[in-house]
Structure 1
């Protein structure tokens, strides 16, 4: 399978002040997918500025685009319930004509962790909730009627008719690095998502990052093998795709952490970065849409050149 290039568009711009045009431009540039974060607010410098909801944003994006895939990267249980989320996703999949991917993860300890009044969950509780959240969401998106009572979540005679446009449901891209999360990705994910090893961002090297990610890929393969699933990216034959959300590995440190500079400094630098990760088995690489004066700042002309030329460059012999 050839490498795909996608983008993340943060929901920080008012729709009629350029927000909508960004999604249209992403489609025009040929990105495979355009994702957005699903948070109630996010870290500095976005914490005290405009920040909009993921599902309404994706709904609007679905209306102004035609073929680009859309999705969250990622949704978590921090402020979501499987029953209400399923209804929103079925609606969104219908509005988009079957173009939605759900990126989903266990959540973290950031601002969303206590936004609806709960005490912060421990790492163990986040994992426990995630292990219940994903299977229930899978049922809700594939069954006309669902009844379930668990430790954390319940569904009482919930009706989800007509279900998703995509069959049997919209795809899950499960973000995970630990053993329990990787087992969920292996069982329920059409794709697996990683950002690399966050402990290496500040002081690690690109080579150390590659080794850490290679280890994650190997553990995903072991989780797939446990249930008799192929770890290849051939989803139609039971495989699982692999997605790298960039921006959080040493190469993206400022100044750039690799000999070639920051991956978004030039087409060549990005092709080098993407090629090294494609060799690990990644089928999709996601870059953040440039935002000036933030960690995601980048030259827009270079960014557009990467969007339109990188995949072809990677496909050439010797790349």
Structure 2
């Protein structure tokens, strides 16, 4: 199992780059950031854009994979976004991983001034967004015609080969996201479920994750795909029961998730304040003492 960190884009870069460098130097397999205009209780506070942040991170790191967890259709169109992703893949020397999700309600969903999407429209837009991005990566010049998104002679990567070089992860706790991951993704992402959808941050346990993993594996079989070819990426963003309270707590949690088939585990990079308040020294200890005990596939 590979282990990575989520770094919120809240700090000035002169401070933030230290976190990205640390994640790289300590040996984590990947480092991620959220892609929002504003996010949850931090709306109205400092929050930077994901793609430029990752471009900067690509220049101050040397080996770690970098990615969005996750980007959504809320304020993006597949064509310019695919071009940005191709550029980031080049800037990072092939270390960029593209994570896609449906997005949620709230600030991001309303910031462009359009009427809020119904659950059905959000689902359908998500399907088109993933399909379009996948197609744009697979062809030097692509066309796509959907109800919500279109592309005409989109020269995203004239040299071709982007899809072979850039891993794509699809997030989703429900059947739509799972099936899109099975059909179009190199991996599937979950962060558990929320007690109140849209009103509370999702939390995950080994029990809930095991049920979700069983479901996505069944979909692989239904779609004629070997479940072993789909990475299972789990983000532990729990506001309670955090595995970062101690090295022992993390080792125990990581072991349990590895047993149920998680291939990639992600935890928040500790902050000095909520959310994800914690002690960065514990994370450094985890890197030194726990990372070497897990093999990377």
TM-score by length of 1: 0.87
Partner SS for 1:298: coil
Q: CA deviation at 1:169?
A: 4.3
Task: Pick the aligned partner of 2:249 from 269, 278, 290.
Answer: 269
| 1:303 equivalent in alignment to 2:293 | no
User: For the residues of structure 2 that align with 1:84 and 1:301, how far apart are their CA atoms?
Assistant: 39
| Matched ranges for 1:1-319 at <5 A | 3-16=1-14, 18-44=15-41, 46-162=42-158, 168-199=164-195, 209-232=205-228, 239-248=229-238, 252-253=239-240, 256=241, 262-313=242-293
Deviations 1:81-107 (A, max 9, x none): 000101101111011110010111011
Alignment partners' CA distance in 2, 1:161 and 1:184? 23
1:271 touches 1:314 (CA, 8 Å); kept in 2? no
Q: Which runs of 5+ in 2 are unaligned?
A: none
Residues 157, 300 of structure 1: alpha-carbon distance in 2 compared, 3 angstrom cutoff: same
The whole-number CA distance in structure 1 between the counterparts of 2:68 and 2:160 is 16
- Distance, in Å, in 2 between the alignment partners of 1:199 and 1:91 is 38
Distance change (3 Å), C-alpha of 1:283 and 1:147:
same
Measure, in 2, the Cα distance between the counterparts of 1:6 and 1:186. Answer: 22
Q: Residues of 1 paired with 2:124 and 2:165: CA distance?
A: 24
For structure 1, the 5+ residue unaligned runs are 233-238, 257-261
For 2:294 and 2:98, locate their aligned partners in 1 and report how far apart those are by CA, in whole Å. Answer: 27
Specify the SS of the correspondent of 1:151: coil
- CA distance in 1 between counterparts of 2:196 and 2:159 reads 41
TM superposition shift of 1:67:
1.1
Q: Distance in 1 between matches of 2:284 and 2:115?
A: 43
8 Å CA contact 2:128, 2:146 repeated in 1 = yes
Aligned mates of 1:300, 1:97 — CA distance in 2: 28
Residue 200 to residue 148, structure 1, CA distance change in 2 (3 Å): closer
SS in 1 for 2:227: coil
SS at match of 1:181: helix
- What is the distance in 1 between the residues matched to 2:183 and 2:245? 38
Query: Runs (4+) of structure 1 moved beyond 4 Å?
Result: 163-167, 200-203
Give 1:162 shift: 3.6
What do the CA deviations read for 1:222-271 (whole angstroms, capped 9, x no partner)? 11111211112xxxxxx0111111123xxx41xx4xxxxx4111111111
1:163 to 1:223, Cα distance in 2 relative to 1, 3 A: farther
CA contact (8 A) 1:5 1:307 kept: no
2: CA distance between counterparts of 1:102 and 1:167? 11
CA RMSD in angstroms, aligned pairs only: 2.1
TM-aligned CA distance change 1:173 to 1:14, over 3 Å: same
Q: Matches of 2:264 and 2:53 in 1, distance apart?
A: 22
User: SS in structure 2 opposite 1:31?
Assistant: coil
